[in-house]
């Protein structure tokens, strides 16, 4: 049953997409099969659920529908909660080995940012359009900026060149409130395009992009001031 779930190609495309009932069925059966005797066989599932199904760094999570993700969370929780005869929780140890701690720290430090892992926490109304597009959130009066960026993104050749380019520069970390952000406008443009391409959210938060985009005086763009796209 475990190998069937691991090899299954999920058909879900988004939070609001039709659920993959086969994947959901596998998850429910695995949850029923879980006990102390099967725990050792279930533990390797923790890494797969965490890194592939729920929180992959690539953004291409296997479980996308909200009900399927709920099934995945429940199975992950039960494996991590179950203790063996020694009183240990091998599932919980596997979860930390899979990168839970670093992911949690990044999400906690970037609650207001556009960090990619935050794309997995959204409500039904915040999900990416079923037509396949994601927008750019208007932080105030930046519709002039958004309209130009959307046109550039929708130019496929330009988008591909931006995503493939390497400026050879390391991160230029700068303090923004309680967090540090990359104060490199090109890096932020790449991050925006990558998020618009891969995010499961309805829109992308350009907060860090606006911070990196400086005016003639070297100050971050004022999102409350209307300007022309020129």
Between 38 and 118, the more confident residue is 38
pLDDT digits 0-9 by tens, 14-31: 777 789 999 999 999 999
Domain ranges, ordered by start, for the chain: 2-109, 133-212
Bridge partners, 179 (sequence order): 176
Share of the chain above pLDDT 90, in %: 63
Terminal CA-CA length for the chain: 58
**How many Cβ atoms from other residues are within 10 Å of residue 3's Cβ?**
7
Token pair in block for residue 81: 């909660």
Which residue, chain included where needed, has tokens 């932020």?
188
Residue 135 has pLDDT above 60, yes or no: yes
Read off the pLDDT of residues 74-113 as tens digits, 9 standing for 90 and up: 999 999 999 999 999 999 999 999 888 776 665 555 444 4
How far apart CA 106 and CA 22 sit, in angstroms, is 33
- Look at 74-83, 149-158, 194-203 and tell me which has the smallest mean pLDDT: 194-203
Phi-psi region of 9 (alpha: psi -120 to 50; beta: other; left: phi over 0): beta
Calculate the CA 143 to chain-centre distance: 25
Helix axes 39-48, 21-33, angle to 10 degrees: 140
Kindly state the helix (H) or strand (E) to which residue 47 belongs, with its residue range: helix 39-48
Helix intervals (H) in 54-173: 66-81, 90-97, 100-109, 143-154, 156-164
């Amino acid at each position: 049953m475990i190998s069937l779930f691991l090899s299954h190609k999920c058909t879900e495309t988004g939070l609001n997409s039709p659920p993959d009932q086969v994947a959901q069925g596998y998850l429910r059966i695995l949850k029923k099969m879980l006990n102390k005797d099967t725990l050792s066989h279930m533990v390797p599932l923790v890494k797969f659920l965490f890194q592939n199904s729920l929180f992959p760094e690539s953004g291409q999570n296997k479980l996308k529908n909200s009900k399927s993700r709920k099934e995945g969370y429940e199975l992950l929780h039960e494996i991590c909660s179950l203790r063996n005869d020694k009183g240990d929780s091998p599932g919980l140890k596997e979860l930390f080995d899979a990168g839970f701690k670093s992911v949690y720290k990044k999400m906690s430090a970037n609650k207001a940012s556009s960090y990619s892992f935050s794309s997995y926490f959204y409500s039904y109304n915040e999900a990416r359009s079923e037509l396949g597009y994601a927008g750019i959130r208007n932080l105030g009066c930046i519709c002039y900026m958004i309209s130009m960026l959307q046109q550039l993104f929708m130019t496929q050749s330009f988008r591909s060149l931006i995503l493939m380019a390497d400026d050879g520069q390391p991160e230029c970390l700068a303090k923004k409130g309680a967090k540090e952000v990359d104060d490199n406008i090109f890096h932020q443009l790449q991050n925006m395009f990558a998020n618009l391409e891969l995010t499961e959210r309805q829109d992308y938060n350009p907060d860090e992009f606006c911070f990196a985009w400086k005016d003639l005086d070297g100050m971050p763009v004022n999102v409350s001031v209307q300007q022309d796209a020129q």
